Structure 1
Amino acid sequence: MAQTRTEHDFLVVGAGSAGSVLTRRLLDQGYSVQVLEAGPPDDDARVHSPQGWPALLGSALDWAAVSVPQRHAGGRTLAWPRGKVLGGSSSLNGMIYVRGHRSDYDGWAADGCPGWDWDSVLPLFKRSEDHVDGAGAWHGAGGPLPVSRITEPHPTAAAFVEAAAGLGHPVTEDFNGARMTGVGFNHVTVRGGLRMSAWQSFVAPVLGNPGLTVTTGARVHRVLLEKGRAVGVEYAADGRLHRARAAREVLLCGGVLGSPQTLLHSGIGPADALGAVGVETVVDLPGVGANLHDHLLVSNVYEATGPLPAGTANLLEAQLFASSDARLPGPDLQPLFMHLVYPAESYPVPEHGYTIAPGLVRPRSRGTLRPASADPEAAPLIDPNVLDDPYDLEALVDAVELSREIGGQRAFDVWRKAEVAPGPKARTRDDLRAFVRRAVATYHHQVGTCRMGRGAAAVVDPSLRVYGVDGLRVADASVMPSVPSGNTNAPTIMVGEKAAEMVLADAG
């Protein structure tokens, strides 16, 4: 869409989950918004198919970020898919709708973020929803975001639920309801056989709004500052540099990689890291790019007895939330079932198979994102520092043991030919530790690089304002002090709702 004005009330940098929510809520209140998205429109048919996501990983719609070599994972680099398209990662993800555990948000509030406790954010989750079950204590209806149940589960997903239940895990009808712990089928952001990304849900229905300008293919380089206030951004598009201005605020929604990178190249960040690459420090903010962490995942892969039947949902239909330690306030393990082969690095890939993916959702290791050079389009140095904390390794091994126990149950006898990864030679806990280091990967749930809170480690305050700069906020998964213990798309949409509420309150 062509730009029709030189200044808008608000600039939204990044059309992902939170950016889409913010855009819609601001437009609904009569404000003008320019959205700047580095990727293209979401007109690739694979985006809209609930089963198209595997083909999007590594495609032109993926930033295809890569970590630096990981010293606790055999020196391997990790691939981090991130959406580069309208909808951001909500256009690439597995469409699982999980909010996380009450204790996640109460922990944020206790850690210096008042107003982000569970009782405060639950209404924001519900506000977004148009849940197939209708409105109730746990869900909302009439919101922009369709949330559905899987009504025809794949037979292998049903076998997973049966196997876990047979081991004593409670069956959970709704991971977003009264009890998160247990095994069950996912709720998904799908309606009418189509992916409902944040962009499709929140913005596509109002594309005709005269206050909206959408600029795709726009790579934002830096925030424009005048007398300590953000007044716009500089971005590259069509081979030229452009400037866009905001009369009220600049809202960074570029995600865990994009938002800190924009701050760093604007001179906002740790002075030592900026100086090392020749970027002048404007605001010495040590927390920018720190606190990087992610849910970790490995693949317990099985060769099937033959071709599996085609599924009708999102390929990721069932999962289990469990605890490695009864003293934890909520689950820390999240084995996810896939009725496809999700390969474990360096292990064989069977022609026909399925995967139980052991996941860790309360990681303790923390890493960094740092600028690689003064070039704002150079990929940053991403070091999640996976498995640095011994707890992460041991808990992930617990998740592997749990997944293998499920995979060996009678419910899978008709489907299981052989375990491929970690394979029958992996018998001891040391064998499984070696497997985890060799095959650990991402659950695609990165957070933390623009941490919200108080004190020297924080980048934004609880109202998401960047410390030391007026008129600038960050609203995306990067502000999360710690990752919620579940898939992060729904929490990121909630961050967008909370941000909109605060921005509108300040706009008067």
Structure 2
Amino acid sequence: MPRSVVVVGAGTSGSIVTRRLVDAGYDVTLVEAGGYDTNPAIHDPARAGELWHAAEDWDLYTVPQEHAAGRRLHLPRGRVTGGSHALNAMIWVRCAASDYDGWERSGATGWGWSAVAPVFEAIENDLLPVTDDYPLTPIQRSIVDAAVEEGLERNPDYNGGTLDGISQEQVTMRDGRRVNTWMAYVRPVEDAANLRVVTDAEVHSVIVEDGRAVGVRLGEGSEQRDLRADEVVLAAGALGSPAILLRSGIGPRADLETLGIDVVRDAPAVGADLHDHLLSPVIFTTREPVGPPQPGVSVTQTHLFWRSRDDLAEPDTQPIHFSVPMWGELEPRPGTHGPGDGFSLMAGLVTPHSRGSLRLSGAGLADPLLIDLAALEDERDVAALAASVRQARRIGARPALAEAWGATEAYPGPEVADEDVEDWVRRTSITYHHQVGTCRMGSDDRAVVDPRLRVRGIAGLRVIDASVMPTITTGNTNAPAAVIGEIGARLVLEDAD
């Protein structure tokens, strides 16, 4: 009989693991909490904003963030085949080589740059299209010109070894349509005899018997049902995977006992070390019309990497640029041609020092997760993000935007002086959708998973997703999550030999 595996989560990592195990002859059941990706907004890059708060979004929120003006931050996460790669801007960033070498130095043996670089190349040359071969819209071309006027260099390939500079985004698109790992890896084998895809099924917990994972429990109460397997792979993301472990009795003993959850293994770091990239908006209205989003054209096409201090070894900021005013919770301020004419330079922090946690409020699926990013708790994060905001203000005031487009800063606006930007950052920062760290891998006793992504103390159970990152990467986490999926699948196959 072929070896059976349940993979939980049809997102970036889970889809890759599924394909590799199916190809190897495993009997695979892929479980996804959401439904199929039938919403047309998923496939048209111009409509990605429609997916927030939609049925395909877990629509999670943090607890009030003490250092971010007491706000509860919205954390969009994909609840659909494709996972968060069905909702995001499809930006593909290998990140800095030093990120992965840092993982290895911290105890994640085998995860250094020399090991992961060939995996990036294989992904990009195999099933997943990664391209910057698309025309920039006029406003995006002018943003690039303004950044060069500000003193940044044009970087033609930020995935070529140097991140610094202003660049056109490399994205996972084909013919103006989104391509994610669900589409590229799983859909072509969806009818394989050794694959079953179970949708609209939320995993409550892992079934552990005599120290070994033997399946997963779907739902609860009268709708509960069990799926048995030889192995279980959690790929539910940095918020989903630790929540499943905690409901399974794998986590901090005191927290579990308080909630009446039987302790299967005391693992204090499950849900700990949560961190995320942050953005803060700098919004401009324009005299000249930018125009509405066009079908097949993403509203973000450029970004930049920049060091807020000269002594940094790698960039600590990554602003992302939108061809629309990203008002969010801000009051729209109409320009000459109305509130739709403008653009946003979203200042970005990509090396956060703050660390938060994820905990349960109860043992049931309906009990809300207590997600605390500890956003901006560390003053170094505030300083870096504020520096990025100030840079964005300067870029927007350069001739390529201020003169050619009549760009006028709507937010923070002239009423916010440069010395008061730290307060602006605390009042407006939002997630960059890159949570990591809650199932950290390493070689120490506190690590949740070992470098082969096996949950410590539980046989037959792995976590293969962004939650295992010891520290967040210098850039978008989707490409690193794909690498984690490829290497994780390889580790499953090697350990079965």
Name the TM tier (shorter chain): over 0.9
In structure 1, how many angstroms separate the alpha carbons of the residues matched to 2:120 and 2:173? 17
Q: What residue in structure 1 maps to residue 456 of structure 2?
A: 467
Matched, 1:337 2:327: no
Q: What residue in structure 1 maps to residue 157 of structure 2?
A: 174
Matched, 1:10 2:5: yes
In structure 2, how many angstroms separate the alpha carbons of the residues matched to 1:505 and 1:259? 23
* Correspondence 1:238-249 to 2 at 5 A: 240-247=223-230, 249=231
Q: What residue in structure 2 maps to residue 134 of structure 1?
A: none
Q: What residue in structure 2 maps to residue 144 of structure 1?
A: 127
1:257-295 deviation per Cα after TM superposition (whole angstroms, max 9, x unaligned): 100000000000001111222112110000000000000
Say if 1:230 and 1:470, in contact at 8 Å, map to a contact too. yes
- Structure 2: state its 5+ residue gaps: none
In structure 2, how many angstroms separate the alpha carbons of the residues matched to 1:407 and 1:428? 14
Matched, 1:408 2:362: no
Q: Secondary structure at the match of 2:300?
A: coil
* Correspondence 1:125-144 to 2 at 5 A: 125-129=120-124, 141=125, 143-144=126-127
- Find 2:367's aligned residue among 368, 378, 385: 378
Q: What residue in structure 1 maps to residue 193 of structure 2?
A: 210
Matched, 1:426 2:410: no
Matched, 1:389 2:378: yes
Matched, 1:267 2:249: yes
Q: How big is the shift at 1:150?
A: 4.1
In structure 1, how many angstroms separate the alpha carbons of the residues matched to 2:281 and 2:489? 38
In structure 1, how many angstroms separate the alpha carbons of the residues matched to 2:332 and 2:414? 13
Q: What residue in structure 2 maps to residue 507 of structure 1?
A: 496
Q: Secondary structure at the match of 1:497?
A: helix
In structure 1, how many angstroms separate the alpha carbons of the residues matched to 2:448 and 2:54? 32
- Find 1:72's aligned residue among 48, 59, 67: 67
Counterpart residue identity of residue 379, structure 1: P
Q: What residue in structure 2 maps to residue 223 of structure 1?
A: 206
Q: How big is the shift at 1:501?
A: 1.0
* Correspondence 1:190-205 to 2 at 5 A: 190-205=173-188
In structure 2, how many angstroms separate the alpha carbons of the residues matched to 1:382 and 1:456? 24
Q: How big is the shift at 1:306?
A: 4.6
1:47-103 deviation per Cα after TM superposition (whole angstroms, max 9, x unaligned): 111112100011010000000001001111100000000010000000111111111
Between 417-426 and 36-45, report the one with greater CA deviation: 417-426
In structure 2, how many angstroms separate the alpha carbons of the residues matched to 1:239 and 1:159? 58
Counterpart residue identity of residue 253, structure 2: A
Q: Secondary structure at the match of 2:480?
A: helix
In structure 1, how many angstroms separate the alpha carbons of the residues matched to 2:416 and 2:329? 15
Identity of aligned residues (%): 44
Say if 2:397 and 2:407, in contact at 8 Å, map to a contact too. no
In structure 1, how many angstroms separate the alpha carbons of the residues matched to 2:193 and 2:285? 54
* Correspondence 1:48-127 to 2 at 5 A: 48-127=43-122
TM-score by length of 2: 0.96
1:301-323 deviation per Cα after TM superposition (whole angstroms, max 9, x unaligned): 11122532344532110011011
Q: What residue in structure 2 maps to residue 137 of structure 1?
A: none
In structure 2, how many angstroms separate the alpha carbons of the residues matched to 1:27 and 1:157? 42
Matched, 1:360 2:355: no
Q: How big is the shift at 1:325?
A: 2.0
Q: What residue in structure 1 maps to residue 307 of structure 2?
A: 323
In structure 2, how many angstroms separate the alpha carbons of the residues matched to 1:462 and 1:274? 26
Say if 1:219 and 1:237, in contact at 8 Å, map to a contact too. no
Q: How big is the shift at 1:428?
A: 3.1
Q: How big is the shift at 1:238?
A: 12
In structure 2, how many angstroms separate the alpha carbons of the residues matched to 1:482 and 1:425? 37
Moved over 4 A (4+): none
Q: What residue in structure 2 maps to residue 278 of structure 1?
A: 260
Q: What residue in structure 2 maps to residue 253 of structure 1?
A: 235
Q: How big is the shift at 1:401?
A: 0.8
Q: How big is the shift at 1:379?
A: 2.1
Q: How big is the shift at 1:8?
A: 6.4
1:207-257 deviation per Cα after TM superposition (whole angstroms, max 9, x unaligned): 12111000001110110111100010010299711111112x100000011
Q: How big is the shift at 1:344?
A: 5.1
Q: Secondary structure at the match of 1:411?
A: helix
In structure 1, how many angstroms separate the alpha carbons of the residues matched to 2:201 and 2:479? 26
Counterpart residue identity of residue 423, structure 1: G
CA gap 1:294/1:209 in 2 versus in 1, 3 angstroms:
same
Between 189-198 and 345-354, report the one with greater CA deviation: 345-354
Say if 1:150 and 1:186, in contact at 8 Å, map to a contact too. no
Q: Secondary structure at the match of 1:318?
A: strand
1:444-492 deviation per Cα after TM superposition (whole angstroms, max 9, x unaligned): 1111100111224310000000011000000111000111010111110
Counterpart residue identity of residue 28, structure 2: V
In structure 2, how many angstroms separate the alpha carbons of the residues matched to 1:416 and 1:47? 33
Q: What residue in structure 2 maps to residue 138 of structure 1?
A: none
Q: What residue in structure 2 maps to residue 135 of structure 1?
A: none
Counterpart residue identity of residue 39, structure 1: G
In structure 1, how many angstroms separate the alpha carbons of the residues matched to 2:467 and 2:75? 15
